[in-house]
Amino acid sequence: MKKLILSIILSTCVLLNVNAKTLGDSIIENAKNHATDLSTVYSENPLTSPAGAISGVDERTLSKTTDDYGDSYYFRGNVQDNYLNFDGMCFRIVRIQGDGSIKIILYDKSNVCEKAIGGPNASIGKGLYGYKKGSINNKMLDYVGYENLRGVRVQIQNWVNTLKNKSLLKKEDWCIGDTHNWYDKSGLTSTQYEKILYSEARKRISGYGVATNANLNCNEKYDEKVNDFGGLLTVDEVAFAGANIESSNRDMYLTDSFIRWWLLTPESRNNYYDNSFYFHSNGRIDYADTIELAIRPVIVLNKNIDVEGTGFINDPYNIVNTYTVSYKIEGEVLDGINDPESEEYLTGTEVNVLNDLKLKGYKFSGWTTKDVEVKDGKFIMQKKDVLFVGRFEKEETTKEKAPVKTTKKTTTKKVKKEEIKNPQTWDSTIKTLILIVISIVTLIVVNIRYKVIKNK
């Protein structure tokens, strides 16, 4: 009976929560409703062909294609209602992936959307990007700087690690593109070797070789992947958003006239250099060899995120179904020990409680809470904030007194001094001396009398 009542209560709570919807549902519903002239229109087929043409100035669509996970819905054109606040920053939503997760790109690292200005704030810095030469079997496995502090990947992961709400992100398989063996040096003359070899991505979006148009699928035969919490957009994703390699397009939501930023996909190579795609400040897909350009990071949000808002810059999507887990150290304030940083989690997420703190000379009580039930150091996030408390207690130490080291000389001196200072000892000594003197005098007198008597 108790389980039945609890089930009814939970079901009622879910039914009453009618304002919050998942981000993916909200995006699709808003596009289908098309509330204003500036709202995105839902259209399974875009008005213009991705990669084949740029999007038009009045084109604002949410269209459908497929990716590695299933049906994907992507924004295309001069979109005005794909703004999202996350972690105190402003992002633009690029697409709903086939598994329901949401891919977003940084728009302003310093402001929420209501105050966002974009421009240089859309970048976390500049990075070196390109492809390694002389890789094993001529296979271009990584972009330059993969393990280099100037590299793109390292900078993105460092930035991701600063996010307070990293727990809301999905770790994504980022499709770098075809890094397979484009050519074989054996049997080629120097002239033949210098010819440019284009990547499959270049052929898809520009018609070199067999034009197949852009697509969002990672080719299992040729394409390389990296598994990270952050990455970059591919050239295909930018083409779906409204750009191409031949014409500029200032009327699309990804264009920023202040920065040129790297894309994830290789473009071409020969024996002198490797080219990678980047997005030009005039809204055109371009490419360059190993140079430093802006890094505009991309992250993927969990599909279960609930939001409110319409997506416009003055009413952006805001995440609402997250709650805070915080930790507080009670009692004595100790140097070098601060409260651990709080984190936000989606309801229903399994959360690991922080490990106990350690400090020399102190014992930690452990983290305790009255807000949730913890089992084996884990709990399920509820629709409320959770506070853990703990305290340090000074360890008690028992110190044994060191034995007093004495010498025979020291002991003798000490005894003599005590004897001199003791009145009873002094009186006894005097009495002994007097008796000795009396005895001596008596002997002398007796001896004298004996001699006198003898002489008579």
CA-wise closest residue to 96 among 240, 212, 223, 239:
240
Torsional sign, CA 236, 239, 245, 250: negative
Within the chain, which residues score under 50 in pLDDT?
1-18, 133-149, 181-194, 209-211, 408-421
Crossing angle, helix 408-421 and helix 423-455, to 10 degrees?
Answer: 80
Beta strands in 254-334 (DSSP E): 261-269, 274-279, 285-288, 291-294, 298-301, 306-308, 317-319, 322-330
Give one DSSP letter per residue of 190-218, joined into a string.
Answer: HHHHTS-EE-HHHHHHH-SSS-----B--
- The CA distance from 133 to 90, in Å, is 37
CA-wise closest residue to 211 among 48, 68, 52:
52
Structure confidence at residue 192 (pLDDT)? 45
Residue 388 carries which side chain, given as an amino acid letter? F
Half-sphere exposure of 68 (CA within 13 A, CB side): 11
List, for residues 113-125, the tens digit of each pLDDT value: 999 999 999 999 9
Torsional sign, CA 134, 139, 141, 143: positive
Chain-centroid distance of CA 245 in Å reads: 35
CA-wise closest residue to 80 among 46, 14, 31, 127:
31
- The CA distance from 414 to 374, in Å, is 67
Structure confidence at residue 286 (pLDDT)? 92
Please report which helix (H) or strand (E) contains residue 107, including its range.
strand 102-108
Structure confidence at residue 143 (pLDDT)? 40
pTM, whole model, 2 decimals? 0.72
Residue 408 — φ and ψ, nearest 5°? -65, -40
Please report which helix (H) or strand (E) contains residue 176, including its range.
strand 172-178
List, for residues 240-267, the tens digit of each pLDDT value: 999 988 889 999 999 998 999 999 888 8
- The CA distance from 329 to 389, in Å, is 6
Q: Which domains does the chain have, with CATH numbers?
A: 19-318 (no CATH), 321-394 (2.60.40.4270)
Q: DSSP H helical segments within 207-331, as ranges?
A: 235-241
Structure confidence at residue 271 (pLDDT)? 57
C-alpha gyration radius of the chain? 42
Contact between 23 and 304 under an 8 Å Cβ cutoff? The reply is no
